[in-house]
Structures are given as structure tokens and as C-alpha cells.
Amino acid sequence: MQFENTREFARQLDKDDKLSKYREEFIFPKVNGKEVIYFVGNSLGLQPKSAQKYVDEVMKDWAELAVEGHFYADKSWWDYHERFSGKLAKVVGAKPTEVTVMNTLTVNLHLLMVSFYRPSGKRFKIICEEKAFPSDQYMISSQVRFHGYDPEDAIVEIKKREGENNFRTEDVLEKIREVGEECALVLIGGVNYYTGQVFDMETITKAGHEVGAFVGWDLAHAAGNIELKLSEWNVDFAAWCSYKYMNSGPGNASGCFINEKYHNKKDIPRFEGWWGHNKERRFLMEPEFQPEPTADAWQISNAPILAMAPYLASLEMFDEVGMPALIEKRNKIVAYLEFVLHEIDKEVDSTFEIITPADQEHRGTQLSVFLHGEGKELFRYLMDKGVITDWREPNVIRLAPAPFYCSYEDMYEFGQILKKGILSKQKVN
Ligand SMILES: Cc1ncc(COP(=O)(O)O)c(C=O)c1O
């Protein structure tokens, strides 16, 4: 499609957009009395209007039923989490039994490493990407030390090539083959938080298995953003947070995928608690742990219902719309944003560079833009004008137009604000 950088053209795209009505289902903060242009759905998604109703429902059940709410609330609490599995399974391409909701992301990655990082003999190394999200670096390093190894010896980082912005799949595969039988685990962020690059999870998972390693993925920036086929790709485990593209609310519960081939495997250890116990017998309070025959066996504590209520509200919208429609709009709106950026680049003295892969196969919703010169000043200008982006050192703003609630006109408007910001700065200098 031939794009045009005009308001009329952007408005026409919005008119033709089947998802445009969903914008009304979200609450936008305001700056200077105007709804913001929200580019940080990759950090914290906007609040769906239906979230309040779901929370109120739990508050009402708690007030009226108190402890009886566990069994007699309309959405009973003892099995509240089960309402997520089927719908989440569709989002991540898994079987409902392979998906569970519990805890928060880093906690879950630690718990999954109890099962899938069991170094012994020669096989003790973990392969991850360089400059992984800091929490992943701390998590991996502390796991390695917990097992008595030195992170210097046990952590192998995949590097980008000199002068390149993104990782090459061939380099990941080569590193996996090089570490070979010393590799215990490959654990990478499926979508890189800094650049928005999407890794070839299927190929990398296969390569990890070929050297006898487990392969897990941190899907914080992938869930609700890109197409995932965790079962088909034969991924061993994965975890993601829900507060980014999945719009569940700050710090909300994480989702986990555990491949069904491990559900009943006795030699896969696990930290256990009563919510992972056979649900038919949970309240018999028996001393011996009998695991649920699903990913729920990894659950430890009873679910935080009040926190999960807004997540359920959001997940139901995902189920209604479906990932294919979201991805179709995502591709178009990101392509339009990219076009607008290039158009503005032509109109001003070039001051920025998109470091996210240009091909749709290797990116999702996020475009990371490297600002040359006084980048932070421009970032502040945008924030003051109601364009909410985020800043990552040394000089990057990340723009993620979530397809659920961002409009094409937002992209056009952003371009105009950006141009003014750059021109006003160039005049001053
Ligand atoms: C890639 C990635 N991994 C891990 C985390 C940490 O998540 P949490 O604080 O929910 O454990 C984040 C948070 O933004 C993230 O982006």
C-alpha cells in the first residue's frame, strides 16, 4: 500500500480499521487536557474500561460472601486461574494444559530454572543474549552462583557483530554448537526489549535440543505482540508478564508455559505448594503432594484474585479479537509509523535512525529509534506535548503503537510533533 503523510490519509486508514472501535474500550491519560499518544504499551498497557467492573465484582463477592467466595462467587476463586488457561493458550500457541498463571515474571523464571537448569558434570553452561533485560541477567547469574558456579565460566553471551544493531540467527546457532555438550540451558528474550528484534524461536529451540540442552524463553515483550507457537516449536518452557501488551495492570501476574512432555515426568524437580496439588483432593489436606497433571502443578500459592480480575477482563478482549487480527493491524500501523518517521527524516536534518529490523518477520509492535545529538531534550519535548514514549540509555526512544488502542491518526500527529520538536531544537542551535 502506498502511504501518505497526511491527516486525511491517516483518518481514512482509521475508518477502514476493523479494530478502531476498541480504542473506546481503553482509558487514555491526558496531558494539557488532551488524550496522550501512547507508545509505551510495551512497558505498561492502558487500562481497559472493563477492568473496573471485574475488580468491583470481586470486591462485592468478598463483601457479601467472604470466605464462601472461594466456592460460591459467580467466578469462584478456588479455580479462578483456570479461566485463563484456554484463552492464554491461544495467545501463545499452546495447549490449555501447558499454560498457567501465577506469581510474577522473574519469580517464575527462577521457579522454572529449578526444573530446567540442573547443571551437572560438563553440562553447566547457560547461553543468553548480551545485554539481556537486567532482571534476566541478575536471575541467571544468581542461579549459576546458587549452583556453585562462577558466572564468568557458566554464562555464555551471544554477541551482536561490531557495528550491527541486531543479533544474527546464524551467530546464535553457531554459539549453541560451539558450547555443545557443555550447554545446559538456552534462555533468551524472545523479543529483545531494547531493539524490538524478534528471535527465530523455532530454529533456536531446535538447535538447543540438538546439543541436548533445555530451551526456555522470556516472552515479556512477545506475549500479546507476536505470533507464538510454543507447542509446535517444541519449546521446553517460557514465561511472560501480562502488564505490557496484555494490559493487565501494573505488576500483574505472569503466565507460564511448560511443555506437556514434562508434566508427569518424575525426574523433573519442582518447588511445590498446595495450589499445584491435585485439585480434587486439595482440601483434604493430605500430607503427600500429588501434582496436577498439567502446568498447574508448578503453582505454589492460591491465586491473588483481586490482581487477576483486571487481567481476566483484558484477556477476554484478546479472545474476542484474536491474535491474527491484532497482528494484521500491528503490521500496518508499525509500517505506517515507520513511513512517517522516514518522511519526517527527509523534511529535517536527519537526527535519528531506526535500529529495529526493517522486515516484519523480525519485529513486532516496537520501533526503537536512536536519537543522535541531544536526544533527551527531544524526548522531554515529546513528553511535554503528550507523546508518551520511553527513554533507554544511551540515546534510544522506544515507540510501540499497540494495535488495540493506537490510531493511524496518532502516528500522523506524532510525526508532526516530532518535526516541530526537531526544528525548534535546530533553530536554537
Ligand atoms: C524482558 C523482561 N524480562 C523480565 C522483566 C521483569 O519483569 P518482572 O518485574 O515482572 O519480574 C521485564 C520487565 O519489564 C522485561 O521486560
Which candidate, 354, 246, 257, 349, places its Cα nearest to that of 26?
Answer: 246
Contacts of 111 (CB under 8 A, 6+ apart): 103, 270, 271, 298, 300
CA angle 410, 416, 419 (to 5 degrees): 135
Q: Is 106 in the pocket of ligand 1 (CB under 6 A)?
A: yes
Distance of CA 361 to the CA centre of its chain: 17
136 pocket-lining for ligand 1 (C-beta < 6 Å): yes
Q: What pLDDT, on a 0 to 100 scale, did the predictor assign at position 428?
A: 57
C-alpha cell of 67?
A: 470466605
Question: In terms of DSSP bridges, do strands 214-218 and 183-189 run parallel, antiparallel, or are they unpaired?
Answer: parallel
167-225-185 Cα angle (round to 5): 50
Q: Which residue has the cell 517464575?
A: 108
114 CA distance to ligand 1 middle (Å):
19
d(CA 93, CA 204): 17
Ligand 1 atom index nearest CA of 251 = 10
Strands (E), 219-355: 237-240, 254-258, 352-354
Q: Which ligand 1 atom is nearest residue 189's CA?
A: 1
Output the known binding site.
Answer: 105-106, 133-136, 218, 221, 243, 274, 302
Query: Residue 111 C-alpha to ligand 1 middle, in angstroms?
Result: 15
For residue 106, the ligand 1 atom closest to its alpha carbon is 11
- Which among 241, 242, 368 is the best mutation to test ligand 1's pocket, defined by most ligand atoms within 8 Å of the CB? 241
Rg of the chain in Å (alpha carbons): 23
**pLDDT on residue 119:** 98
> What CATH number belongs to 81-302?
3.40.640.10
Write out the three cell numbers for 9.
490519509
Of 40, 44, 101, 106, which is best to mutate to test ligand 1, by the most ligand atoms within 8 angstroms of its C-beta?
A: 106
Domain edges within the chain: 7-48+323-426, 81-302
**Is ligand 1 within 6 A of the CB of residue 132?**
no
Q: How far apart are alpha carbons 71 and 157 in whole angstroms?
A: 48
pLDDT of residue 118: 97
Distance from Cα 245 to the centre of ligand 1, integer Å: 13
Angstrom distance (rounded) from CA 24 to CA 34: 15
Dist. CA 399 → ligand 1 center (Å): 18
Question: DSSP string of 149-189?
Answer: --HHHHEEEE-PPTT-SS--HHHHHHHHHHHGGGEEEEEEE
C-alpha of residue 240 to centroid of ligand 1, in Å: 8
Specify the fold of 7-48+323-426.
Answer: Aspartate Aminotransferase, domain 1 (3.90.1150)
Cell of 376: 533527551
CA of 362 to the centre of ligand 1 (A): 21
The count of C-alpha atoms lying within 13 angstroms of the C-alpha of 214, restricted to the half-sphere facing its C-beta, is 24
The preferred substitution site among 135, 139, 240, 242 for testing ligand 1, maximizing ligand atoms within 8 Å of CB, is 135
Mutate which of 105, 198, 244 to test ligand 1's pocket (most atoms within 8 Å of Cβ)?
105
- Binding-site residues for pyridoxal 5'-phosphate: 105-106, 133-136, 218, 221, 243, 274, 302
Positions in the chain short of pLDDT 70: 373-374, 426-429
**CA 43 – CA 39 distance, rounded (Å):** 9
CB atoms within 10 A of CB 225: 31
* Cβ neighbour number for residue 59 with a 10 Å cutoff: 11
Return the SS3 of 277: strand
In whole angstroms, what is the distance from residue 270 CA to residue 111 CA?
7
Cα gap 271→73, rounded to integer Å: 30
Whether residue 310 is preceded by a cis peptide bond, meaning omega within 30 degrees of 0, is no
Residue with CA at minimum distance from ligand 1 atom 16: 220
Helix (H, G, I), strand (E, B) or coil at 371: strand
Query: 314 by DSSP, 3-state: which?
Result: helix
**How far apart are the CA of 367 and the centre of ligand 1, in A?**
19
User: CA–CA separation, 300 vs 246, rounded Å?
Assistant: 23
Contact call for residues 386 and 247 (beta carbons, < 8 A): no
DSSP bridge pairs for 185 = 126, 214
Quick check: CB of 221 below 6 Å from ligand 1?
yes
106 CA to centre of ligand 1 in angstroms: 6
Q: CA 154, CA 184: separation in Å to the nearest integer?
A: 10
Residues 6+ apart with CB under 8 A from 309: 51, 54, 55, 57, 58
CB of 263 within 8 A of CB of 276? Answer: no
What residues contact 293, with CB distance under 8 A and at least 6 apart?
97, 263, 264
pLDDT score at 212: 98
Phi, psi of 301, rounded to the nearest 5 degrees: -110, 165
- Interval between CA 192 and ligand 1 midpoint (Å): 11
